[in-house]
Structure 1
Amino acid sequence: MKLFYKAGACSLSPHIALAESGLPFETEAVDLPTKRTASGADYLAINPKGYVPALLLDSGELLTEGPAIVQYIADLVPDKQLAPANGTLDRYRMQSWLHFIGSELQKSCAAFFNPMAKDDWKGAARVNLEKRLAYIDEQLADRDYLVGGAFSVADGYLFTALSWMAKIDIDLSRWPRLPAYQARIGARPAVRAALSAEALA
């Protein structure tokens, strides 16, 4: 398998999942403005959507969209328990978290990385982010992880999203459980390995 990624982007989430899985994989960085990969390939010929992440499977098929990719990886290694079993309520809780992080955190953060975004858009996005971060902080009041009392691929995605907050001047210390959560996930050997591979730590 090969993961196409941009350092520190949402593709960090499947990078963490792959590192946690113990499966063999390769990575290749993508320059998103030019749509060229590190080897010089035309990324649009690989992934017509033009964004990351994308996971090239050994079969030659391409899987896109982070939440789908991380569940695919988790299901390849059920013994690692990176996701609750299919059909369980915890599986749907995890999927709910994956969608929440994508639609409420990642989408709101996009305003701050879009050069065409005006101040009113950024202001609305900031208000939404602050509400959602407060909600997550409350949910972590009685748990160390998002679902089922153990690390799952949803935690890797939330860790990734929380890492963007410093770049957009949102101080997580306002919600004290969030820095503690971020440190807890960031201390995992697989997470450290993914960060190191992307030159983020």
Structure 2
Amino acid sequence: MKLYYSPGACSLSPHIALNESGLQFERVLASTKTHQLEDGTDYYGINPLGYVPLLELDDGTRLTEGPAIVQYIADQVPAKNLAPANGTLARYQLQSWLTLIGTELHKGFSPLFNPATPEAYKTIAREKVLSRLQWVDGQLAGKQYLMGDAFSVADPYLFTVTNWAPRVGVDIAHLANLAAFRQRMAARPAVQAAMKHEGLLK
């Protein structure tokens, strides 16, 4: 398998999930600025949408969208319990978390990275994403991870998007449950390995 990624982007989530899975994979750097690979290949020829992550399977099949990719990874190694079994209520709860992170948090941060976004709108966007993170903080009360005491593939996604908060002026320091969650995540060897590979940790 090949994971196409860009440092610190949302592709950090499947990067962590792959490390947790123990599956063999190749990391391929795909710049979200130049849309080229390190060898000069046009990334649009691989993913016409131009963004990461993209997971290329051994047979050449290409899978896009982080929430789908991390569930695929989890299902390749069911013994690792990275996701509840398909068809269970817990699996739908996992999908609920992945959807909320993708639509309410990930996309909530997007305008804050766009230099063309008017400052007045950025203020509104910061307030909205912070309100969602405050709700998540409440949901983490008394829990180690989003799904309870067990790590799941939703956790790297939340960790990844909350990494963006200080870069765009969203203050989450007062969210104690979220801070404790982030510390637990940062201590996981799979997280540290992914972040070191992406140049996010020395």
Q: Calculate the TM-score normalised by the size of structure 1.
A: 0.97
How far apart are 1:39 and its partner, in Å?
Answer: 2.2
CA offset digits 1:101-124 (Å, max 9, x no partner): 011111011111112111132122
CA contact (8 A) 2:13 2:157 kept: yes
| Structure 1 unaligned blocks of 5 or more | none
Match status 1:38 vs 2:35: no
TM-superposed deviation, 1:34: 1.8
Does 1:86 pair with 2:78? Answer: no
User: Match for residue 134 of structure 2?
Assistant: 134
> What is the alpha-carbon distance in structure 2 between the residues aligned to residue 14 and residue 188 of structure 1?
15
Which deviations, in whole Å up to 9, do the C-alpha atoms of 1:45-75 show, x marking residues without a partner?
1111110000111010110000000000000
3-state SS in 2 of match to 1:31: coil
- Within 2, Cα distance between the matches of 1:120 and 1:107? 18
1:179 to partner: Cα distance: 1.2
Q: Is the 8 A contact 1:32 1:51 kept in 2?
A: yes
Give matches, 1:16-55, under 5 Å.
Answer: 16-55=16-55
Partner-residue secondary structure (3-state), 1:37: coil
Unmatched 5+ residue regions in structure 2? none
| Residue in 2 that maps onto 1:60 | 60
Count of aligned residue pairs for this structure pair? 201
Alignment of 1:61-140 (within 5 A): 61-140=61-140
Please state how far the C-alpha of 1:168 moved relative to its aligned partner. 1.2
DSSP-derived class of the 1:36 partner: coil
Q: Is the 8 A contact 1:90 1:148 kept in 2?
A: no
Paired with 2:39 and 2:151, the residues of 1 have a C-alpha distance of: 34
Letter in 2 for 1:136: V
- In the aligned structure 2, how far is the partner of 1:183 from the partner of 1:175? 12
Question: What amino acid maps onto 1:33 in structure 2?
Answer: K
State the identity %. 55
TM-score normalised by the chain length of structure 2: 0.97
Q: Partner of 1:180 in structure 2?
A: 180
Q: Is the 8 A contact 1:5 1:12 kept in 2?
A: yes
Note the C-alpha offset of 1:148. 4.2
Deviation at 1:31, TM superposition (A): 1.5
Contact 2:13–2:160 under 8 Å retained in 1: yes
- The answer to whether the Cα contact below 8 Å between 2:126 and 2:169 also exists between their aligned partners in 1 is no
Residue of structure 1 in register with 2:14 after alignment: 14
The amino acid that maps onto 1:104 is E
